[in-house]
Structure 1
Amino acid sequence: MGPRANTLGLIFKDDYILLEEQEGKHSKGTGVFYRPIGGTIELGEKSQEALKREFMEELGVEIIVKRYVTCLENIYKIDENIGHELTQIYVVDFKNEDLYERETFTITEGPYISRAKWMLKKEILSDYYVLYPNGLKELFLNGKIDV
């Protein structure tokens, strides 16, 4: 299988960032990990449009794409399987400002259900939490993402 193109949206509220919480095997072991909301870019689809579609499919909400941040290339290994993602990163806002008052969001992707919650940015950047994709934490720590 070749590289996968995907897109992720960073939503901020004060000193918090909205992240999906997942649990399972990942490239750093097994357990809980976090990632921004988003998903796969379909063939013929622009990354911004894919991001809007993913937020609608997974959370049932509309977003406004504020700005492009960068593309991260994430090559990782889980067990003996190698994964390769090219990830377009954007800063986005909820179209409906009332959504910023919610503490958690249910994410539905086919039969899979998870949740997203507001995480304190300085905590998620600590070594205690696992944040994906690889390289995202470094973008924050090096000042490449400033809100």
Structure 2
Amino acid sequence: MREIRVVTLGAVRRGEELLVQAVGRNDAGGRNFRLLGGGVEFGEHSEDALRREFDEELGVALDDVSPLGTYERVFDHEERRHHEVWRVYEATIVEDWPYDREAFSFVEPDSGAELRATWKRPRAFRSGPDHLYGETLLDDLGPDPHSAQ
């Protein structure tokens, strides 16, 4: 079935670092990452979906949520063509514990898969083997407005 999936993602910062999720290895010998978030359900606003995803997956609330941009990605995965539209928001996490850890695991409720989140500097995606999905997103992030975290 051909469909466009709407995804909402959160750009959460800790100083110069972004909270990202590891999503597999790449051909350059590094890992692939993306911002945390998930699918938007029919009739659900993307900001509400972002808050729901962070609550379901991490058990945290978001604050200072503001739109960053909308991105589109068409890609092949497991021999299938996929089409996603991403609504990305900058946000802060209300609870302190994610900022206190270098990395942590969480469970995706729909699949039961254990996932790994970590803090990475965006410049590491420009110069190393690691890759951030949503390449143009790096340019749009600009300077860190929440550097006091």
The TM-score with structure 2 as length reference comes to 0.83
Q: Is the 8 A contact 1:65 1:91 kept in 2?
A: yes
The code of the aligned residue for 2:132 comes to L
The code of the aligned residue for 1:113 comes to E
Residue number in structure 2 paired with 1:84: 83
- Aligned-partner Cα distance in 2 for 1:107–1:135: 27
Q: Is the 8 A contact 1:4 1:84 kept in 2?
A: yes
Paired positions, count: 141
Query: For the structure 1 residues 121 and 105, does the alpha-carbon distance in structure 2 shift closer, same or farther, using more than 3 Å as the test?
Result: same
Residue number in structure 2 paired with 1:116: 117
Q: Does 2:127 correspond to 1:126?
A: yes
- Aligned-partner Cα distance in 1 for 2:31–2:98: 25
Query: For the structure 1 residues 30 and 87, does the alpha-carbon distance in structure 2 shift closer, same or farther, using more than 3 Å as the test?
Result: farther
Q: Is the 8 A contact 1:48 1:65 kept in 2?
A: no
Q: Deviations over 1:122-145 (max 9, x none)?
A: 2123252111135323434xxxx4
- Aligned-partner Cα distance in 2 for 1:36–1:13: 13
Q: Is the 8 A contact 1:74 1:134 kept in 2?
A: no
The code of the aligned residue for 1:70 comes to G
- Aligned-partner Cα distance in 2 for 1:55–1:127: 28
Residue number in structure 2 paired with 1:72: 71
Residue number in structure 1 paired with 2:43: 44
SS in 2 for 1:36: strand
Q: Is the 8 A contact 2:33 2:133 kept in 1?
A: yes
Q: Which moved more, 1:116-125 or 1:81-90?
A: 116-125
Report the CA distance between 1:78 and its aligned residue: 2.3
Report the CA distance between 1:14 and its aligned residue: 1.1
Residue number in structure 1 paired with 2:101: 102
Residue number in structure 2 paired with 1:10: 11
Question: What are structure 2's unaligned runs of at least 5 residues?
Answer: 145-149
Structure with greater contact order relative to length (CA < 8 Å, sep ≥ 6): 2
The TM-score with structure 1 as length reference comes to 0.84
CA RMSD of aligned residues (A): 2.2
Question: Which of 110, 130, 146 is equivalent to 2:143?
Answer: 146
Question: What are structure 1's unaligned runs of at least 5 residues?
Answer: none
SS in 1 for 2:18: strand
Q: Is the 8 A contact 2:30 2:129 kept in 1?
A: no
- Percent of residue pairs bearing the same amino acid type: 28
Query: For the structure 1 residues 128 and 31, does the alpha-carbon distance in structure 2 shift closer, same or farther, using more than 3 Å as the test?
Result: closer
